[in-house]
């Protein structure tokens, strides 16, 4: 009897790493996904026990496949399909925390001040 296996792009989509299979295929083609320390094709079969390294933006997930499925399931069930390594989880949480702190201290509101804010700035600069 053969071990269950499913295409890599389908598994990434079913495990909710990517919103669509097309995005999963682009990530694999772009080299942002490794399986057992090798750069795969989207059609590569994933089996339980495989180790994946998945890059999503600045975040990197290192996971071990626990089960395979080609149907997209709810988020709690999707988390049961893999186990993230402790180092990966800690590194990701540190990155998120650093980004959160950076956003609070940047001082950039992301938009131009409105009329009221400009008046307050001028008042401070004049020393009134």
Average pLDDT over residues 100-126: 83
Average pLDDT over residues 12-39: 96
Query: Residues 6 or more apart from 124 whose CB is under 8 A from it?
Result: none
The pLDDT tens digits of the residues spanning 39-93 come to 999 999 999 999 999 999 889 999 999 999 989 999 999 999 999 999 999 999 9
Contact present, 54 and 33 (Cβ < 8 Å): yes
Question: Would you say residue 1 has pLDDT above 60?
Answer: no
Question: Would you say residue 124 has pLDDT above 80?
Answer: yes
Distance between CA atoms of 43 and 81, rounded to whole angstroms?
19
Distance between CA atoms of 91 and 15, rounded to whole angstroms?
21
Distance between CA atoms of 73 and 14, rounded to whole angstroms?
6
Average pLDDT over residues 22-33: 96
Distance between CA atoms of 42 and 28, rounded to whole angstroms?
6
Domains present along the chain, CATH in parentheses: 1-93 (3.10.290.10)
Question: Would you say residue 100 has pLDDT above 60?
Answer: yes
Query: Residues 6 or more apart from 78 whose CB is under 8 A from it?
Result: 14, 15, 16, 72
pLDDT of the residue at 3: 72
Distance between CA atoms of 28 and 14, rounded to whole angstroms?
15
Question: Would you say residue 112 has pLDDT above 60?
Answer: yes
């Amino acid at each position: 009897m053969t071990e269950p296996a499913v295409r890599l792009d389908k598994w990434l989509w079913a495990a909710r790493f990517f919103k669509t299979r097309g995005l999963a295929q682009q990530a694999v083609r772009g080299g942002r996904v490794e399986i057992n320390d090798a750069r795969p094709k989207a059609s590569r079969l994933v089996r339980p026990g495989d180790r994946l390294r998945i890059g999503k933006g600045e975040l990197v997930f290192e996971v071990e496949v626990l089960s395979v499925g080609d149907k997209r399931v709810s988020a709690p069930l999707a988390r049961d399909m893999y186990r993230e390594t402790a180092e990966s989880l800690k590194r990701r949480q540190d990155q998120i925390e650093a980004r959160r702190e950076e956003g609070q201290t940047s001082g950039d509101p992301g938009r131009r001040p409105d009329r009221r804010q400009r008046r307050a700035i001028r008042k401070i600069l004049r020393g009134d």
